[in-house]
Structure 1
Amino acid sequence: MNMIQQFRKILTALVLALILTTTVACNAVVEAKQPTQLSPGISRSGDYALLERGNSVQGQDFGNWVIGTAKGIVQDAYVRDNNKLGIVITPQVRPTEVRPLAKSLLQGFHKNFPNQDLTVLMYAPDKKLILTSQYDVQTNKIEYK
């Protein structure tokens, strides 16, 4: 049984890395969009609904892409300031799979938001922070906390 679990862990990481790499490469040219304009009559809760995946158009697009691509693994995602990615994983993700998943997401995030330091925050299904991954563009290294 242990060998099956190890195989599942490796397969999950490879499949997600493949999906992130190929989809990001295919979506390298993104059509320019006009920023979302908030009308003066929208309440604070309405503002949040427009910004829940990202506080920029590019961030919203990437957050939506993560949710659409990682079905069954990621239940929620958001991008802030084009350098912070928050991910809420599903209960199906095992604790040993969190770090490889964070690395794969960080690689895809870097391809969409190059030349800057990036942070991926991984949250459990109960919204408690379980892992922080930070990419340093100068050293090209990832640090996990």
Structure 2
Amino acid sequence: MDVNFLQQSRKFLTALVLILVLTVTTACGGVSQATQRPQLPGSIGSTYTQLERGSTAAGQKFGDWAVQTANGLVKDAYVRDNNKLGVVITPQVKANEVQTLARSLLQGFHKNFPNQDLSVLMYAPDKKLILTARYDEQSKQIKYQ
């Protein structure tokens, strides 16, 4: 068998499974924003390991969900202001899979926090920013930086 074909198949299947998991579980586990109580946001920096997963109850729940359902691809996640999702990926995520993972997370994020512009910030395992995906509610488009 061709090694390149096996690698491409693995990448495709990983992305497909992640999209399906995120879509199905997000559709079943939506969060009502009407019952949220705001909390003070944490800051990124030297106290990184002490961060909560969200600055609101809904954000906390989504951050927990993202880590638990990503099948070992997401090490940590946080949600700020119900429109910014920061994700630290594990070393198992290959560089060419980061954008697909960001898109999948953004789709799940949009289902839980609809009708607004959203951002997903992808961080490498060493916590350096490697990709930002921005969803524009008006144009319904995702832009990557």
- TM over 0.5, yes or no? yes
SS at match of 1:18: helix
Aligned residues: 136
Unaligned 5+ residue runs, structure 2? Answer: 41-47
User: Secondary structure at the residue paired with 2:101?
Assistant: helix
The alpha-carbon deviation at position 71 of structure 1 amounts to 2.8
Match of 2:143 in 1: 143
In 2: Cα distance, 1:143 partner to 1:74 partner: 21
Equivalent position SS for 2:120? strand
Task: Name the aligned partner's letter for residue 19 of structure 1.
Answer: V
Tell me the alpha carbon deviations over residues 83-104 of structure 1, each in whole angstroms, 9 at most, x when there is no partner: 0000000000000100000000
Query: Which residue number in structure 2 is paired with residue 2 of structure 1?
Result: 4
**Distance in 2 of aligned mates of 1:18 and 1:12:** 10
CA apart distance, 1:53: 0.1
The residue type equivalent to 2:97 in the other structure is E
Q: What is the correspondence of 1:90-129 to structure 2 with a 5 Å cutoff?
A: 90-129=90-129
CA distance in 2, matches of 1:138, 1:55: 25
Q: Percent identity?
A: 66
Q: TM-score, normalised by structure 1?
A: 0.86
Residues 24 and 37 from structure 1, CA distance in 2 versus in 1: closer, same or farther, beyond 3 angstroms?
Answer: closer
Contact 1:51/1:60 (<8 A) preserved: no
Write out per-residue CA displacement over residues 28-49 of structure 1, whole angstroms, 9 at most, x where no aligned residue.
36597674889xxxxxxxxx98
Change (3 A) 1:59 1:6: same
Q: For the aligned residues, what is the CA RMSD?
A: 2.3
Q: Compare CA radii of gyration and give the structure with the larger one.
A: 1
- State the alpha-carbon separation in 1 of the partners of residues 51 and 129 from structure 2: 21
Residue number in structure 2 paired with 1:71: 71
1:26 is matched with which residue?
A: 28
**1-structure distance, mates of 2:66, 2:115:** 20
CA contact (8 A) 1:59 1:80 kept: yes
Tell me whether 1:12 sits opposite 2:18 in the alignment: no
Regions of 4+ moved over 6 Å: none
CA contact (8 A) 2:75 2:88 kept: yes
2:43 matched to which residue of 1?
A: none
Return the TM-score normalized by structure 2: 0.86
